[in-house]
DNA sequence: TCAAATTAGACAGCCTCTCTGACCATCGGT
DNA sequence: ACCGATGGTCAGAGAGGCTGTCTAATTTGA
């Protein structure tokens, strides 16, 4: 679809590498029933719980898809659904104790990879990379 | 699985934005029977054709998956399979004339997006971004 | 030199992710 | 008190990916 070194591919390669590392770390810690699609939802759950519809919007999937993924997360014990006190139609998706345990593991894996990247690029270029990407988000992220 | 602004998410957002733009451009030009998975294979086909197994390796999918995607591309007329003169077991996947027509369309869409990004970031920061990502590829791309 | 290991590829069956469409319950404004 | 908008579920479908098994052809080594 284009030439070899377009920015898209250049962005995708390290993204994939990071994602793989995080899932390997989670699997090594015994959390092997966690899929990337589930993680994209899980990541968006706020401290007091978040509604399904809001999760769907932020993850840019339909609410049916979000519901499907939350079903899986619930069955695996990572989240639970509780009634929303402010709206009887809605339910809040909340992180369960088991789910909460995965957070530091994933965070550690991310930190480890970022440290490797910093060692490779040097602190200045890493900082510039982060800045450029953050700036790019302004024109590429519909939910910035 | 981690905090909001990890590098993974920052990388993924512009990648997705670029991909979407390219597929919109192809669809607008009448090539709407093209999926991202097919494109990841299609991109890797060399000028003289490439073997299925090699495509599978480079796209990091199994050869079964690659075969399935090439089937679709062949049915849609974007590629054809010809015998490999140097190995009777193998066949070369080659880009057909119809497939070749999509290349400048995709390239133009990529160039357009990159121009927008350059306008947003400025030429210096864009160059630094590309450099940093290229450098990162050395430690994150298994097929560098 | 010929049997064994390797490689290219196809077929079958399964699972996950995502979508559309239809539907019900509740909320909120007029 | 109603009616449109919102939160969520159910049913069905299709794409994309996997493993496992099989064949044909090639390469390798005793």
Average pLDDT score over residue span A82-93: 95
Q: Which residue of B has its CA nearest to A106?
A: B1
Rama region for A77: left / alpha / beta (φ>0; ψ in -120 to 50; rest):
left
Calculate the angstrom distance between C1' of D8 and CA of A69. 14
Find the mean pLDDT for residues A112-124.
95
Evaluate whether A28 touches B135 at the Cβ level (below 8 Å): no
Per-residue pLDDT at A38 exceeds 60? yes
A136: tokens are: 């790019």
Q: 3-state DSSP helix/strand/coil percent for chain A, to nearest 5? A: 65, 10, 25
Provide, in whole angstroms, the distance separating residue B32's CA from nucleotide C24's C1': 36
Q: DSSP string spanning B39-99?
A: HHHHTT--TT-EEHHHHHHHHTS-HHHHHHHHHHHHHTTSEEEEE-TT-TT-EEEEE-HHH
- CA B36 to chain A, closest CA, distance in angstroms equals 10
Closest nt by CA–C1' to B69: D16
CA nearest B34 in A: which residue? Answer: A1
Whether B144 has a pLDDT exceeding 60, the answer reads no
Is residue A2 predicted with pLDDT exceeding 50? no
Residues contacting nucleic strand C by the 7 Å CB criterion are A 35-38, 40, 60-62, 64-65, 68-69, 72, 87-89; B 51-54, 63-64, 67, 70, 81, 84, 87, 89-92
Cβ contact, residue pair B129, A130, below 8 Å: no
Residues of A in contact with B134 (CB under 8 A): 5, 10
Q: What is the mean pLDDT of residues A72-95?
A: 95
| Nearest-angstrom CA–CA distance, A35 and A20 | 11
- What confidence score (pLDDT) does residue B1 get? 43
First-to-last CA distance in chain B?
28
What's the rounded Cα separation, in Å, for the pair B44 and B59?
Answer: 8
Task: Supply the pLDDT for residue A1.
Answer: 42
Q: Give the separation between CA B104 and CA B87, rounded to whole angstroms.
A: 32
- Chain B residues in contact with A114 by the CB 8 A cut-off are 6-7
Summarize pLDDT for B80-98 with one digit per residue, the tens.
Answer: 999 998 898 899 999 999 9
Q: What is the pLDDT of residues B23-80, one digit of tens each?
A: 888 888 888 888 889 999 999 999 999 999 999 998 889 999 999 999 999 999 999 9
Contact B132 A129 (CB under 8 A): yes
CB-CB neighbors (< 8 A) of A42 in chain B: 1
Q: What is the CA radius of gyration of chain B?
A: 17
pLDDT band at A141 (very low <50, low <70, confident <90, very high): confident
Task: Say if pTM beats, i.e. exceeds, 0.75.
Answer: yes
More confident residue, B51 or B17: B51
Determine the Cα–Cα distance for residues A46 and A59; give it in Å rounded to an integer.
13
Position A143 scores a pLDDT of: 59
Given a cut of 60, whether residue B126 has pLDDT beyond it is yes
- Confidence class of residue B8 from pLDDT cuts 50, 70 and 90? confident
Helices (H), A7-96: 7-28, 36-42, 52-59, 63-75
How many angstroms is C1' of D30 away from CA of B45?
Answer: 40
């Amino acid at each position: 679809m284009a030439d070899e070194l377009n920015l898209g591919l250049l962005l995708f390669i390290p993204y994939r590498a990071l994602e793989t590392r995080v899932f390997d770390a989670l699997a090594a810690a015994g959390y092997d029933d966690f899929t990337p699609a589930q993680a994209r939802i899980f990541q968006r759950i706020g401290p007091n719980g978040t509604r399904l519809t809001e999760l769907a919007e932020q993850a840019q999937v339909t609410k049916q898809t979000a519901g499907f993924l939350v079903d899986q997360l619930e069955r695996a014990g990572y989240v639970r659904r509780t009634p929303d006190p402010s709206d009887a139609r809605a339910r809040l998706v909340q992180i369960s104790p088991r789910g909460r345990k995965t957070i530091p593991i994933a965070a550690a894996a991310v930190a480890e990879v970022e440290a490797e990247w910093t060692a490779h690029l040097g602190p200045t270029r890493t900082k510039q990379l982060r800045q450029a990407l953050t700036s790019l988000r302004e024109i590429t992220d519909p939910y910035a």
